[in-house]
Amino acid sequence: MCREAGIADAGFDPLFSPFLVIAFTTPALTGDQSFPDHFALVGPAMREHPGAFAWDLLDPARRKVLITVGTLATGLARDFYQRAAAAVAALGVTVQTVIVGPCELLPDPPDNVLVVSSVPMLKLLPRLDAVISHSGMNTVSEALAHGVPLVLAPIRHDQPVVAAQVVRAGAGIRVSFSRARPGQLREALVRILDDPSYRRAAMRIRHSFSSAGGVAAAAARLEATAGREAARREQVGVVRRN
């Protein structure tokens, strides 16, 4: 980026810019810690997911749960999806589950499980009572932006950190992606569904996200930072010319 902009050496690590750092989260998740003034915690930047959905298959009489490991961990998902399907099978009278992934991963799902390759996430979330996920930041942010609590099974990268933040905020329960058995997954899910404190915590984060401003706030901070830097450079140029 520096080369393309004609800058030989930016003089700083872009991950820790002295001008502006935008984080798509809020203190409701990061905790009550102080950040420099040039850090902007703006809440999530969400986008609609493409994909049709057979809405008539959803049973209004049962609570609804979504299970997903995102799009980057599908190769690791077979065993987890099988354990998760076994976990929710015993809840068929009261819980209906949507699993997002290739249908071949679960060729014979329980009667209360719908397996689909994709979902229009932002349209589905208002109908959900809980999400079981790999703790990817997008899925977590989208769920919490709708006040939906989570069971989190982090795999790698930033996912354990995100899961720890959600648990600390009281909006979710963490389980092991590789070792959690169906009974453990079911126990965690039932706690999320039956204990209203998880939903209340998720709603607190939802309100925090909403008031943070999202992409509009991020754009405003970018414009303000660019304007200040342009004015500074112009002032430096005037001083040098004089």
Through-space distance between the first and last CA atoms of the chain, rounded to whole angstroms? 32
User: Can you list the positions of beta strands (E) in 90-140?
Assistant: 95-100, 113-116, 130-133
- pLDDT, residue 40, reads 92
- pLDDT, residue 109, reads 92
- pLDDT, residue 34, reads 84
- pLDDT, residue 222, reads 92
Break the chain down into helix, strand, coil percent, rounded to 5. 45, 15, 40
- pTM value is 0.86
- The residue ranges of the chain whose pLDDT is under 50 are none
- pLDDT, residue 241, reads 59
Residue carrying structure tokens 């009667």: 111
Domains of the chain: 55-210 (3.40.50.2000)
- pLDDT, residue 95, reads 96
Region of residue 33 (left: phi > 0; alpha: psi -120 to 50; beta: else)? beta
Q: What is the dihedral of CA 103, 64, 188, 137, to 10 degrees?
A: 70
